[in-house]
Amino acid sequence: MGRSANAPCPCGSGIKFKRCCRPLHNGAAAPTPEALMRSRYAAYAVGDVDYVMATTDPEGPVFRQDRAAWADDLRLFARLTTFERLEIREVSPITDEHGEVRFFAQLRRGGDDVSFEERSLFRHSGGRWYYVAPLGASAADR
């Protein structure tokens, strides 16, 4: 993917990509829903669509059976979007193997601001966290 391992991680942690989200992209399990959220944002930013698909809950509503079409849609989204900033706004306590993360993603597509805020649901299964679905989103007012 198109990011130097020594560059700052796209997730905004301030840590080099090679020590932050890249190990997760290479197969390490995210330890928390927040870590998974950050790593998924970074995956979009570097165009790692396989990681996005692999960390989506196969029992959730956003999972797609047609993986080729899903990958094409994700690649197009990643290519046309500039991922400017991720801000984690709230992390809820983990309950019953579920967690929630509220975040703001500052994005641009062409000259347009397509930023958004979302509260995401995550599920822990088989020793790994998975993204389930958005619980609510709102257009950015920035």
Its domain, for residue 126, covers 17-139
Mean pLDDT in order along the chain per 10 residues (142 residues) = 78 94 97 97 96 97 97 96 96 94 96 95 97 72 32
Pick from 91, 110, 98: nearest CA to 59: 98
Cα–Cα distance measured from residue 106 to residue 22, given in angstroms and rounded to the nearest whole number? 21
Would 8 be classed as within a structural domain? no
CATH number, domain containing residue 107? 3.10.450.50
pLDDT of residue 140: 42
- Identify how many contiguous H helices and E strands the chain contains and give both numbers: 4, 5
Would 1 be classed as within a structural domain? no
pLDDT of residue 47: 94
**pTM, two decimal places:** 0.91
Pick from 69, 92, 13: nearest CA to 45: 13
pLDDT of residue 139: 46
Cα–Cα distance measured from residue 120 to residue 23, given in angstroms and rounded to the nearest whole number? 22
Would 5 be classed as within a structural domain? no
Looking at the structure of the chain, the number of domains it has is 1
pLDDT of residue 5: 76
> Is residue 64 within 8 Å of 131, Cβ to Cβ?
no
pLDDT of residue 6: 86
Question: 116: helix, coil or strand?
Answer: strand
Would 127 be classed as within a structural domain? yes
Would 71 be classed as within a structural domain? yes
Would 4 be classed as within a structural domain? no
Would 11 be classed as within a structural domain? no
